[in-house]
Each structure stands twice: as structure tokens, then as C-alpha cells.
Amino acid sequence: MQSMVLVGLMSATFALAGCGSDDGGDDGNNAGDGGSSNGGETGKVGVILPDTESSVRWESADRPALEAAFEEAGVEADIQNAEGDAERMTQIADTMIGDGVTVLAIVNLDSESGAAIQEKAATAGVATIDYDRLTLGGSADYYVSFDNTVVGELQGQGLADCLGEKDANIVYLNGSPTDNNATLFAEGAHSVLDAIDSYKVVGEQAVPDWDNEEAATIFQQLYTAADGKVDGVLAANDGLGGAAIGVLEANGQAGKVPVTGQDATVEGLQNVLAGTQCMTVYKSAKLEAAALAEAAIALATGGEAETTGTTEDAEGGRDVPSILLDPVSITKDNVGDVIADGGQSYADVCSGEYADLCTEAGITE
Ligand code: BGC
């Protein structure tokens, strides 16, 4: 059932020239039916990832997926990481623009610095793409992401499924206040959980920069303020979820209080298998990277990328052409689907003490 969702998701992948349905390790740049080699026409594409701390996804999932997607498309890409520093991102962008990139894709660290980068790029005639996070008040030509409200809805529904119909005190650990996605995740989760009368919000706080260590401190404070009477935790990603689990563990509550997550990281999937985390959300980096490559090629060659709709940027008063993909809810029952899809490897998830849990969950190498 769940794997059918993933299959459907895979088939919704964007038809890049030469993008086969294999899972990597192919023989390089097979032209496929599109037949267009983009080598010379597209020039170089610059991609700036946000940091290495807010989620392991950026370096462990996005970077390799982006490298593979651009290589597959025969496009030269310069992928860098701003290390959580908006000034650094600005400098990297300046250098990339100076180097003559034709398209610049960023995962902004905040909308203000992102918009300033995009304005400079536009002045230099460089097209821009918002990768994963929408830059409010920005000028990106495309927005490539997942449906982030749905991500929040899946988290809310996942927590409700784990809690069942009982009186429950819920604490929210939201993502960074500077990340528009975090706003959408929280909205989506609230839309599900607020509709259940027996649930009560007993604490809610945004975690600056998605900082996992600060998340532990914040959760400890919320937990203490609630007198330890916490029945469920809506944590916006696996890192924040892990921070909450650590505090629950210290209080003998890990595994008793369901905690959500996002990104289907190795740690998140292992926590799901161990029962300390109730669910995570899988967002295939392979699909997101392929969609970015397609949009970048379209911009560089004067074509148009196939969009799924537009996203309203209320701050900028415009509708941004968007390619939004479908996130997938992951519980113990379908952790194996992430591995089968290449989202994580069996060796990483099922290592050491997790080998038996994988076997129990029917996950094989
Ligand atoms: C991304 C999440 C990620 C978070 C922290 C969000 O914008 O959509 O996947 O966990 O940032 O990096």
C-alpha cells in the first residue's frame, strides 16, 4: 500500500533528458528520448545549500542527489554550503555571479538575505530558483520544493494516529522562525491536531535556526513548565525530534510519548524502528534534485519547466511558478520503503543494534 505511494511518487518524477528509472549507478549521460545534450547551452549552475547543522539532509542527501541530477543532465554545477551564515551565502553568491553562472539556486537562511541575493543576480542577468524554501519578497523564477503544508498535515496526522482518541497534552517544537517552511509545517500540523477536541497544546516554541542543541534546552523548559504532563510532541524535523527524545529519555518517558519528525534521516528512521519516534516524513532528495535540474535547464535554455502550480508570496505580492512534490509519511510499517527507494541505505539504517529491529520490521538487505 505505502510502497504504491512511493511508486506513484517516482512516476511523477520529471522527465529529464536521459533520466531513466534506474536508481543511480548508471552509465552516465545517456541521451534518452529527449535527446538533447545540454552541455554547452546551459552554462554553469550554482547551488547554495544553507548549513550542515539544521538537518543532516543538506550534505548527506541533497548534495549527492544534486550532483547526480546535474551529471545526468550533462550540466556543470557548483554546489556550495553557506554553513549557516547569511553573509557567507551572500559572498558565495557574489563569487558565483562573478564566475558567470547562468542560474543560481539557493536554500535561503532568511528571506531578507535571500531576496537581496536574488536582486543582485537579477541585475547581473542571472536567473534564480528557490530550492526547498520560498524566499518571501524574493524574485526567484521558480520555486522547487515539497508541498510543505502537507508535510505538516502528515506530521499532525501521524501524531494523532500514535496518540489515538484520548485526552492528550501536546508540545510543539517548531522550526526556525526565519524559514517559511517552518510556518507551513506548523500550520499544517495545527490544522489536523486543533480539530481534535481531546488534545490540548501545553507548549509551543520555534527553534531559532533549527538548532538541535537549543531545541533540547527549549523542550526541557516546556516539559518542566508543563510539569512533565506531556503526552505527545510535534517536532518539525528529525533533529528536533531527537532533541525531544533525549529529554524524554532522561525522564524515563522515551517510547511512551510519541514524537514526530521529518527528513527520514538515519537517526530518525532508527528512532522510528526503536519506537522512540512515532513517524518521520520522507521527501525524496532524488526527486527534488531532479526537479531543480529541470527548472535550471529550462531557465538556461529559454524553455519552460513543467510546474505543478504557483505559490503565493504574500510579502512580495506575487505568485511564484512552482514545482511541488508529494511528501510521504513513514512509520515502522514502511521504513523499508525509504531504503528501497534509495533514500537511505540498509547498511546505515540497519547497523549494529538496529539489525534485529530491521529484521523484525521485515526489512532485508
Ligand atoms: C526543510 C527541512 C529541514 C529544515 C532544516 C526546512 O526548510 O524543508 O527538510 O529539516 O529546513 O534544515
- pTM of the entire predicted model: 0.90
In the chain, the amino acid numbered 145 is S
Interatomic CA distance for residues 232 and 174, integer angstroms: 14
What pLDDT is attached to residue 309? 97
Cα 148 versus chain centre, distance: 9
User: What CATH code is assigned to 2-140+284-326?
Assistant: 3.40.50.2300
- What average pLDDT does the segment 192-205 reach? 98
User: What CATH code is assigned to 148-282+329-360?
Assistant: 3.40.50.2300
Closest ligand 1 atom to the C-alpha of 179? 7
pLDDT, tens digit, 9 for 90 and up, residues 173-182: 999 999 999 9
Residue 8 pLDDT greater than 60, yes or no? no
What pLDDT is attached to residue 212? 98
- Check if the beta carbon of residue 41 is closer than 8 Å to that of residue 102: no
Residue 330 pLDDT greater than 80, yes or no? yes
What pLDDT is attached to residue 41? 77
In the reported structure, the alpha carbon of residue 176 is separated from the centroid of ligand 1 by a whole-number distance in angstroms of 9
Closest ligand 1 atom to the C-alpha of 58? 12
Among the ranges given (35-49, 190-204, 330-344), the one the predictor scored with the smallest mean pLDDT: 35-49
What pLDDT is attached to residue 42? 82
Residue 243 pLDDT greater than 90, yes or no? yes
What pLDDT is attached to residue 221? 98
| Nearest of 304, 12, 314, 9 to residue 142 by alpha carbon | 304
Which of 176, 180, 181 to mutate for ligand 1's pocket (most ligand atoms within 8 Å of CB)?
181
Interatomic CA distance for residues 117 and 109, integer angstroms: 11
What pLDDT is attached to residue 40? 59
Among the ranges given (26-35, 130-139, 152-161), the one the predictor scored with the smallest mean pLDDT: 26-35
- Percent of the chain clearing pLDDT 70 (strictly above): 89
Cell of 353: 543494534
Ligand 1: residues whose CB is within 6 Å?
54-55, 57, 132-133, 175, 179, 181, 210, 237, 262-263
Cα 68 versus chain centre, distance: 18
Confidence at 28, pLDDT banded by 50, 70, 90: very low
Higher pLDDT, 25 or 257: 257
pLDDT, tens digit, 9 for 90 and up, residues 52-91: 999 999 999 999 999 999 999 999 999 999 999 999 999 9
In the reported structure, the alpha carbon of residue 260 is separated from the centroid of ligand 1 by a whole-number distance in angstroms of 14
Residue 98 pLDDT greater than 50, yes or no? yes
Q: Do domains 2-140+284-326 and 148-282+329-360 have the same CATH topology?
A: yes
pLDDT, tens digit, 9 for 90 and up, residues 266-286: 999 999 999 999 999 999 999
Interatomic CA distance for residues 240 and 234, integer angstroms: 9
Reduce the secondary structure of the chain to three states and give it as a string.
CHHHHHHHHHHCCCCCCCCCCCCCCCCCCCCCCCCCCCHHHHCEEEEEECCCCCCCHHHHHHHHHHHHHHHHHCCEEEEEECCCCHHHHHHHHHHHHHCCCCEEEECCCCHHHHHHHHHHHHHCCCEEEEECCCCCCCCCCEEEEECHHHHHHHHHHHHHHHHCCCCEEEEEEECCCCCHHHHHHHHHHHHHHCCCCCEEEEEEEECHHHCHHHHHHHHHHHHHHCCCCCCEEEECCHHHHHHHHHHHHHCCCCCCCCECCCCCCHHHHHHHHHCCCCCEEECCHHHHHHHHHHHHHHHHHCCCCCCCEEEEECCCCEEEEEEEECCEEECHHHHHHHHHCCCCCHHHHCCCCHHHHHHHCCCCC
Confidence at 365, pLDDT banded by 50, 70, 90: confident
Which of 263, 282, 283 to mutate for ligand 1's pocket (most ligand atoms within 8 Å of CB)?
263
Q: Indicate the domain borders of the chain.
A: 2-140+284-326, 148-282+329-360
Closest ligand 1 atom to the C-alpha of 180? 7
